[in-house]
Chains A and B, each alone.
Chain A
Amino acid sequence: MQPRGTEPMSIRGAAYVAGIYEHPGRDLPTHTIWDIHTEVAMGALADAGLSMGDVDALFCDGTAGFGVLTLCDHFGIRPKYVDSTETGGSSYLAHVGHAAAAIAAGKCSVALITLAGKPRTGSPPVQWAQGPESGFESVWGMAGAPHSYALAAQRHMYEFGTTSAQLAEIKVAASTHAQYNSNAFLKNVVTVDEVLNSPLVADPLHRLDCCVVTDGGGALVVVSPEIAKKLGKTQAKVLGHGEAVKHTNNGRIDLTYTGAVWSGPLAFEEAGVSVADIDYASIYDSFTITVLQTIEDLGFCEKGKGGEFVMDGALIAPFGRLPFNTDGGGLSNNHPSNRGGITKVIEAVRQLRGEAHPAVQVPDCQIALAHGTGGSLGSRHGSVTLILGQHDA
């Protein structure tokens, strides 16, 4: 018999995403990242109907100065729960899961999560401390995420016959959605041929297989059921969360799958739903290959069949088999701070609230999935899956 108080805890229904805000800017030359943090925090709190004085938990990534120390000072708050989990672009989905767990444990009741960055017009990239692998990975001329993700794409093509035209379908779907988003960095609808004719960046990835580089940010407010009830507006219920780190595995790196193979089942189990229940999915799209592998790894299709799955408009909202990234995603809309995680959650919440653009709103969207991939598919990355539902899900 388990001692009292040690029953397995779940975050299902323990928290609600009550506030969302995506900064409308994509080029912000006169903002500091701290200005952006302020504006997105104000936006999300206003959306929730709360104020900074209500915040008792703060979450940010590892790029915000000294993390929560800097931001608590900047915002002028003294929260009783803080978390600077850094898993690259997937950090903010982890933050939602961690916030829900903290709320379930009674540690806090109003959690603020913010992201801000200026890769277009501002700050130099964050310099990370060198890892133990550094001497063995930094001397070969690799200089950015496209090079690393290209290694994954090449191997996936080799093992499963995936083609560049299939990867291009993912960009086509994202761009089809972006035309309805007046804030999107790229609003033009592209064709498969345009993707294939764009310059190769790192074979087999073309320029249009890569996400946009944008300034900006976003924020989320996650609250307890009691606060959610008081606020009394349409919110997204947190149903499940899973996270995983996939790495080089002592020289046995397998480039054909992502950590979604582990984070997905954890999230589905906690949420008590299956892939068939997902009405809409925000899938991290740093590159087209990121989407393709993730769709397979989450179980939307068999491993290796992602190329076939994305053909014929499967990802195009509202009526494709798996409507995805209806804001235009990182491929066309926004990838603030080179991190697309927070916008993934934001668009999923818009869908659940029925507030996506009418042209791409999934009818009666009840269950949405958001997935983040941070770091590099070609070496090590963090995968986080979040499942959200309508208020009464």
Chain B
Amino acid sequence: MNRLPTPAPVVTPTTQAFWDATSEGRFMLQHCVACDAVVWFPRNHCPECFSPELSTFDCSGHGTVYSYTVIRKVANAYKEATPFVVAYVELKEGPRIMTNIVDCAPEDVSVGMAVTLVFHDTGAGNALYRFRPTSQ
């Protein structure tokens, strides 16, 4: 069950491919051909070595909570959804990405907990990537 709003993200020519893939349930990461780095967030260059040669691959969808906060009060589109959880999830592939933790009471979230990727359709041709606790 998803009770959070699903605002459509800002999509730019640089990030179009990433967001298009979310509509198919894929979370795409970039890989630097020159230095082997995994790149996050999507760019047209590698921020490690500044090479423009990047390939893409699909992320496993598994990660752990690196840090989180429970937002108690907010004046934006999430106003009716408080309290809700914003977190940095560390993907198995390395990058720590900002996201929400869903399908879980805020008080049950903890640093280090295993989480799995889910997608929530925005209605704008893409989906928001969020994470729920990994089923035992």
Interface residues in chain A, defined as those with a beta carbon under 8 Å from any beta carbon in chain B: 130, 132-144, 147, 150-152, 154-155, 158, 199-205, 248, 250-253, 255, 379
Contact = CB atoms under 8 A, between A and B. Distances in A.
A130 B11 CA distance: 11
B54 interface: no
Contacts of B10: 130, 134-135, 138
Given A130-B10, A154-B68, 13 more contacts: A132-B14, A139-B7, A139-B128, A141-B100, A142-B86, A143-B74, A151-B86, A151-B87, A155-B111, A158-B67, A250-B39, A251-B40, A251-B94
Main secondary structure of the interface of A (DSSP, over half): loop
Interface in B93-117: 94-100, 106, 111-112
A203 B74 CA distance: 13
A154 B88 CA distance: 11
A251 B38 contact: yes
12 contacts: A132-B43, A133-B41, A136-B41, A136-B97, A143-B78, A147-B71, A152-B67, A203-B70, A250-B40, A250-B47, A250-B48, A253-B88
A252 B12 CA distance: 23
Given A136-B41, A250-B47, A154 B69 contact: yes
A158 B64 CA distance: 14
A251 B47 CA distance: 10
A151 B67 CA distance: 6
A155 B68 CA distance: 8
B88 A137 contact: no
Contacts of B37: 250
B34 interface: no
A130 to B, nearest CB: 6
Interface of B: 4-5, 7-12, 14-15, 19, 37-41, 43, 47-48, 66-78, 81, 84, 86-88, 91, 94-100, 106, 111-112, 128
A148 B120 CA distance: 23
Contacts of B41: 132-133, 135-136, 251
A96 B70 CA distance: 38
Given A135-B19, A136-B41, A137-B98, A201 B72 contact: yes
Contacts of A200: 70, 72
B11 to A, nearest CB: 6
Given A142-B86, A250-B37, A251-B40, A202 B72 contact: yes
Contacts of B88: 151, 253, 255
Contacts of A141: 4-5, 71, 74, 76-78, 81, 84, 86, 100
Q: What 6 A-B pairs have minimum CB-CB distances, sorted nearest first?
A: A251-B95, A251-B40, A141-B78, A150-B69, A155-B67, A203-B70
A136 B9 contact: yes
A151 B9 contact: no
A198 to B, nearest CB: 12
Nearest to A144: B74
A255 B67 contact: yes
B15 A252 contact: no
A103 B41 CA distance: 40
Contacts of A142: 71, 86, 98
Contacts of B47: 250
Contact of A251 (B75, B81, B97, B111): B97
A242 B81 CA distance: 42
Contacts of B69: 147, 150-151, 154, 202-205
